Amino acid sequence: MKGGKLIIFSAPSGSGKTTIVKYLLEQPELNLAFSVSATSRSRRGNEKDGEHYYFMSVSEFKKHIKNDDFLEWEEVYRDNFYGTLKTEVDRLWAAGKNVIFDIDVVGGLRIKKKFPKETLAVFVKPPSVDELKIRLKKRSTESDDKINMRIAKASVELATAPQFDTVIKNYDLDIALKEAQALVLEFVSPPTPKGSVKKS
């Protein structure tokens, strides 16, 4: 596996990382393509296979694990697997793209460990756990039990923030978007040769 850069955005559910990733994908100068994760969870709403996730059964997912097909994978909840297929990253690199991930904290750190120089790992921090709960309830996509599970997990995830290359505080979305754009642009841009003047 060899190619462009890898940009990871990780955060607890409801932090706004998906909104940030969507915005960055719309910026042509970043040359980004989205890495679609595989999952064993069932589809929600209008989700499409191959666009939002590669949906597969638990047994199918476990077969891919056995065959070492994943760059990273995790059982987030019981029989609820998420992972990044190696073929997905290869496909996007072959197209000459930098790959961006909207991914779980554990998976993000695993990719960073495997590709330390090629990866920028960004943690998106919400204003507070209480604010997260409000955002998740507003979505109206999950039961109270599932929301409570996500909130409990968020406390653990927030503790991993120092392991990332950088932290973006999503207290004001417009500021967070611009900060993310500047960070990624600097990371994907070729270094300026010594002695030359960088154009503004």
Residue 109: give its domain's CATH number: 3.40.50.300
pTM of the model: 0.85
Distances (CA, A) of 134 to 35, 128, 151, 184, 187: 28, 10, 11, 29, 33
Residue 2: pLDDT over 70 = no
Q: Decide if 194 is inside a domain.
A: no
| Residue 126 is assigned to a structural domain of this protein | yes
Amino acid present at 103: I
How sure is the predictor about 196, in pLDDT bands with cuts at 50, 70 and 90?
Answer: low
Write the secondary structure of 108-157 as one string of H (helix), E (strand) and C (coil).
HHHHHHHCCCCEEEEEEECCCHHHHHHHHHHHCCCCHHHHHHHHHHHHHH
Give strand pairing partners of 145. none
* Within a domain: 196: no
Q: The domain containing residue 88 runs over which residues?
A: 6-188
pLDDT higher than threshold 80 for residue 1 = no
pLDDT of residue 85: 97
